[in-house]
Structure 1
Amino acid sequence: MLPRETIDTAQIPGGDTLTLISHGRDFIIMLGRDELMGTRMQYSEEQLAVLTLAELSAAAPRMLIGGYGMGFTYRAALAEAPEGAEVVVAEVVPEILDWARGPLAHLTGETLDDPRGEIVLCDVAALIDDANDGTCHKFDAILLDVDNGPDGIVRDGNERLYSRTGLAKAREALNPGGILAVWSAAPDHKFTKRLKDAGFDVEVREVRARPNNKGPRHTIWFAKKG
């Protein structure tokens, strides 16, 4: 059996410790003792971007991604986004970007230098607030992958993103026809109802963690602003 080797650790503000681990040719980010994400199962996080872009009508969409992680969603967005698109990522852990440029550089490639992309070290809620008060332009899509889902919070304070107030703010930060897409490790019928109560048209999809239709089933909500 291949040993797991610890590469580095980082503290989530208001949360647990992240540990970057190598396991043979694969890499894993652990949250405490739990596997948060890894290179063996990234398909559903890529589909968060791919399926959202497929539903957008904007010619050059402006997208906000909550959480960089290993960059799966970010890279998929850049790969699918048209010329003139803008992809903004909010990340709260500085070491995540150090890992992207260091031990995970073979995954990152040149995407951190893509002129369509911008990585901002801040809470995604702050950028949603900025779009609401006119500090920045509104978004055509907001993609949230900052937790294990609405019922799997990994950082204190993130509960507000999935609350009635948080969903109302996200809806206000979207352009007409915009989409709030939320990734989750598990379904949550109460969250589906909250999205509908917030005025969204909601579609819930199950996506496998691997492209060969294997691995865990993950849930993605696509909530459109009418």
Structure 2
Amino acid sequence: MLERKQIARAQIPGGEEELTLVSHGRDFIIMLGRDELMGTRMQFSEEQLAELTLAELAVAKPRVLIGGYGMGFTYRAALANLPEGAQVRVAEIVPEILDWAAGPLAHLTGDTLDDPRGDIRICDVSALIDDANDGTCAKYDAIMLDVDNGPDGIVRDHNNRLYSRTGLAKAHDALRPGGVLSVWSAAIDHKFTRRLMDSGFDTEMREVRARPNNKGPRHTIWFAKKR
């Protein structure tokens, strides 16, 4: 049996637990305590978060915000599906995540950290949403959230505000008309579907397999379009 080997650890700002990067044979996993947040064996649904969201947009050169870099699955999928002139801004609160991307996970990252369409910032995604609302920056065509394992602040309690009615209202206001808020989750949450609808979004919930061969766990993605 293959042994999991710890590679690095990182404290979550404002959180009580640490993130741990481990290897398991040829695969890599980011753990939160004993829970797997993401891994290279099951990345398809995180890639689909970007691909399916962008497919909903009727914009030639979208301006996109991604909450959470993680292992970069959503970010790289967005770059692969966006034309020159598009913009992808990423908010990541754990600085070490980018050290891992440029270090032990560099074989995944490639040269994407230097892509001129990308702008990765060490900050809370809610701060960038607020910037779009107060005019500090332009509004977005899409906001993709994958900062927890679903619409619940599992990584840190502060994230709960993202999924509250107040947080959803801010996300709604930070989008251009026809823009999409998409949220990745490990499980279905019908109460969250209702909150999205009550916040003025046309909402669709889809189940996506964790692996491209239609195997692995079923994950959930909400697509909430601003009217």
After TM superposition, the score normalised by the length of structure 2 is 0.98
Aligned pairs (5 A) from 1:33-44? 33-44=34-45
Is 1:12 paired with 2:12?
A: yes
The aligned amino acid for 2:10 is A
- Aligned-pair CA distance for 1:65: 0.2
Q: 1:66, 1:207 → 2: CA distance? A: 19
State the SS of the aligned residue for 1:150: coil
Q: 1:31, 1:70 → 2: CA distance? A: 14
| Partner in structure 1 of residue 173 of structure 2 | 172
- Aligned-pair CA distance for 1:151: 3.2
| Partner in structure 2 of residue 147 of structure 1 | 148
| Partner in structure 1 of residue 25 of structure 2 | 24
Q: 2:25, 2:150 → 1: CA distance? A: 28
Q: 2:153, 2:133 → 1: CA distance? A: 26
- Aligned-pair CA distance for 1:98: 0.1
| Partner in structure 2 of residue 186 of structure 1 | 187
State the SS of the aligned residue for 1:157: helix
Structure 1 vs Structure 2: percent identity of aligned residues?
Answer: 81
The aligned amino acid for 1:160 is R
| Partner in structure 2 of residue 215 of structure 1 | 216
Work out whether residues 153 and 159 of structure 2, in 8 Å CA contact, stay in contact via their aligned partners in 1.
Answer: no
The aligned amino acid for 1:10 is A
Structure 1 segments (4+ residues) deviating >2 Å: none
Work out whether residues 64 and 87 of structure 1, in 8 Å CA contact, stay in contact via their aligned partners in 2.
Answer: yes
Is 1:112 paired with 2:116?
A: no
Q: 2:78, 2:151 → 1: CA distance? A: 22
Q: Please list every run of 5 or more consecutive structure 1 residues that lacks an aligned counterpart in the other structure.
A: none
The alignment's C-alpha RMSD in Å is: 0.7
Q: 2:153, 2:188 → 1: CA distance? A: 11
- Aligned-pair CA distance for 1:73: 0.1
Q: 1:198, 1:153 → 2: CA distance? A: 22
- Aligned-pair CA distance for 1:150: 1.0
Is 1:57 paired with 2:28?
A: no
Q: 1:29, 1:168 → 2: CA distance? A: 31
State the SS of the aligned residue for 1:222: strand
Deviations 1:79-105 (A, max 9, x none): 001121100000000000000000000
Count of residues in correspondence between the two structures = 226
After TM superposition, the score normalised by the length of structure 1 is 0.99
Q: 1:184, 1:152 → 2: CA distance? A: 12
Work out whether residues 151 and 188 of structure 1, in 8 Å CA contact, stay in contact via their aligned partners in 2.
Answer: no
Deviations 1:185-223 (A, max 9, x none): 000000000000000000100000000111110000000
State the SS of the aligned residue for 2:181: strand
Deviations 1:7-59 (A, max 9, x none): 00001112221000011110000100111110000000000000001110111
Q: 1:35, 1:193 → 2: CA distance? A: 27
Q: Please list every run of 5 or more consecutive structure 2 residues that lacks an aligned counterpart in the other structure.
A: none
